Structure 1
Amino acid sequence: MTDTAVKANDISVLEISGITKTFDDKVVLDGVSLTVARGQTVCLLGPSGSGKSTLLRCVNWLERPDQGTVLLCGERIGMRKGGVVPMGNAELARLRMRMGTVFQHFNLWPHLTVLQNIIEAPVHVQKRRRDEVIAEAEALLENVGLADKRDAFPSRLSGGQKQRVGIARALAMKPELLLFDEPTSALDPELVGEVIAVMKSLSQAGSTMLVVTHEMGFARETADKVVLMDGGRIVEQGDPEQFFGNPRTERARQFLQRYVSA
């Protein structure tokens, strides 16, 4: 496939092909290939250190892969001119605007209110009308159950509330792809459910999502495709019913025995 964008409806939203990444001579990703179709929720599972979060960071080019390609709706991320010349910052920023990332540790600006956190990028990066963006942000806050926190600062929010603001902030950019990097791992157990509920509603509404998670229940109930990584490779992938009910590989059986039975 060329670097030229093609009609989005004709292809997968995300195509990852042959991604490799090493740190200090340690292979973290070893030829990973994966597709995410429009409207799919794909969950990346695996033990700590298996390469899941690094793969997500390669998708939005926070980490530059050593080899391989990442295509968003047919347009190559990070490289241009036949994959030889790196993209400039402005060109890369334009592509990143089409992806929304929800981080493990929220990454909210502490000096801005909830509403200001959500409207900052659409107003100053996308150059959209402030009144229009505010109206959309208020609707998003309503959708994630935080309309009453509009003028609160992050320091006044629980972890679950901060993560729901993070989701609303990502949605405010109207992304074609949502990336979730272990969005519940920094939360107290009693707060996990409120974030999972928002993610389930997004999936049911047809959002395209790539989710790194340890929440087996979410993957089993919500994912269209489950991908197990280990040692920087994909060792098994399939629909949740097949993966959880009849795993094909011994590694998947070992993983499920440890993490689902725990």
Structure 2
Amino acid sequence: MTDDMAVLDVAGISKRFGALEVLSDISFTVTRGETVCVLGASGSGKSTLLRCINWLERPDAGQIYLNGERIGINNGGVVMSDRELSRVRTRIGMVFQHFALWPHLTVLQNLMEAPVQVQKRPVAKVREEAMALLAKVGLSDKSDAFPARLSGGQKQRVGIARALAMKPDVLLFDEPTSALDPELVGEVLVVMRELAREGRTMVIVTHEMGFARDAATRILFLDRGHVVETGPPERFFVNPDTERARQFIQRYAAG
């Protein structure tokens, strides 16, 4: 795959919950190595968009493709079975707002579970890779700890390492710092900035404006379920195209 090929292609995605239209005709692509930060006020549809990308929520309209393979609908035009969806989701790393670690497993076991059980990879190799990932996120000394013994920042770094353990094509982050105490946010953003520098393909829903300004290759700005503006962060934050974006920046990104 060349760098300019779409890893993720989102085409015309719409989603309603009853009478409420949460997403309306959302379209964008993510090429290899891009860090796309999805911004918008609370209730703009950002988290629902991520959940539709990996079919944790079923879109009402539109298509999603991962490296050219349609997600959610198989080649026969039928909704994928849970087993088929599970296979596709192994290629989409998801980092959740509230960590979603298995409490009964140690940190190391959390990282190894899916690669061994789902991907059927050799235990010894998975263990070696998992320990390397823990070193990468600064948690080598926590491999035998259980999640209850970790701080929120440590839990989220384990969540990032666990997503990386699957060797995904794209990483999705759903407000990964919003559940953290302010003093713990920085340690998670350090890891995410490093992933961006490495050229990991990522879609990140975040309220961290400084991070988006520094680490994103592109901003996707949502308002009331619509893509209002998209472009490089240096343009979005300094000279946005729309009045709605200017209002958002004045309110949330001052300074």
Structure 1: segments with no counterpart, 5+ residues: 1-6
Aligned to 1:78: 72
Structure 2: which amino acid aligns with 1:242?
A: R
Q: What's the CA shift string for 1:118-167, capped at 9, x where partnerless?
A: 00000000001111000000000000000000100101100000000000
For residues 188-199 of structure 1, the aligned pairs below 5 Å read: 188-199=181-192
Aligned-pair distance for 1:49? Answer: 0.5
For residues 151-166 of structure 1, the aligned pairs below 5 Å read: 151-166=144-159
User: SS at the partner of 2:56?
Assistant: coil
Aligned to 2:196: 203
Aligned to 1:3: none
Aligned to 1:122: 115
Distance 1:156 1:212 in 2: 27
Aligned to 1:218: 211
Tell me the TM-score normalised to structure 2 length.
0.98
Aligned to 1:247: 240
For residues 173-188 of structure 1, the aligned pairs below 5 Å read: 173-188=166-181
> Are 1:8 and 1:73, in contact at CA under 8 Å, matched by a contact in 2?
no
Distance 1:228 1:80 in 2: 30
The yes-or-no answer on 1:260 pairing with 2:253 is yes
**Percentage identity across aligned positions?**
65
In the alignment of these two chains, the number of paired residues is 255
> Are 2:14 and 2:62, in contact at CA under 8 Å, matched by a contact in 1?
yes
**135, 138, 161: which one pairs with 2:131?**
138
CA gap 1:258/1:9 in 2 versus in 1, 3 angstroms: closer
Aligned to 2:52: 58
Q: What's the CA shift string for 1:170-215, capped at 9, x where partnerless?
A: 0000001000000000000000000000000011111000000000
User: SS at the partner of 1:13?
Assistant: strand
Distance 1:209 1:136 in 2: 21
> Are 1:39 and 1:208, in contact at CA under 8 Å, matched by a contact in 2?
yes
Distance 1:80 1:120 in 2: 27
Distance 2:158 2:58 in 1: 28
Aligned-pair distance for 1:261? Answer: 2.0
The two structures, once aligned, show a CA RMSD in angstroms of 1.2
> Are 2:3 and 2:33, in contact at CA under 8 Å, matched by a contact in 1?
no
Aligned to 1:34: 28
> Are 1:11 and 1:74, in contact at CA under 8 Å, matched by a contact in 2?
no
Tell me the TM-score normalised to structure 1 length.
0.95
**7, 10, 17: which one pairs with 1:13?**
7
Aligned-pair distance for 1:80? Answer: 2.1
> Are 2:175 and 2:207, in contact at CA under 8 Å, matched by a contact in 1?
yes
User: SS at the partner of 2:6?
Assistant: coil
Distance 1:89 1:33 in 2: 25
Aligned to 1:106: 99
Aligned-pair distance for 1:81? Answer: 3.5
Distance 1:186 1:87 in 2: 32
